[in-house]
Amino acid sequence: MLIRDYEPGDRAALRECVVQLQDAEREIEPRTADGDSIADTYIAYLKNICSANKGKIFVAELDGRVVGYSAVQLWSNSDEVHEELYEYGYVSDLVVLDAFRRRGLGRALLEAAEAYTKRQHIDLVRIGVLAGNETVRRMYRSYGFREHKVVLEKNTGAAFDCTSR
């Protein structure tokens, strides 16, 4: 197993991972877009957000094949006027292809993201997960993460059209 920085030649493998991540999230949250339809746009977005926020994309390579990735960006809570100013690393993406799970690759990708934030002198790391994905939430808690904010939603049955305002 090798965890390394993303390289342009990894794009097709990264795309496969993005599609699988999106489709898995779509099973939990139906409003999530189909992976194949957004993968190229998402990869461009991910590269841009990493570039703008001193981020990195790491890939997990097994037997010469990229089988997972993580992405981390450095953020400031500067929009949170009710909190003191601080910086944190945000792991926006973490996925290992289904066929390669339970081999420690996810943990290694997460450790690479955490090590990167530490090298940037940032000790706080956050990661997002869908509320309905209890398996992954349990895994992240076992890695030492705790819930920071919980966003609740309610469907009132009426569609909200923001274009009518």
12-51 pLDDT per residue, tens: 999 999 999 999 999 999 999 999 999 999 999 999 999 9
Q: What's the mean pLDDT when you consider all of the chain?
A: 93
DSSP letters for the chain? -EEEE--GGGHHHHHHHHHHHHHHHHHH-TTSPPHHHHHHHHHHHHHHHHHHTT-EEEEEEETTEEEEEEEEEEEE-TT-TTS---EEEEEEEEEE-GGG-SSSHHHHHHHHHHHHHHHTT---EEE---TT-HHHHHHHHHTT------------SS---GGG-
Q: Is the pLDDT of residue 82 over 90?
A: no
Q: Given this model, what pLDDT does residue 165 score?
A: 46
Domains of the chain as residue ranges with CATH: 2-148 (3.40.630.30)
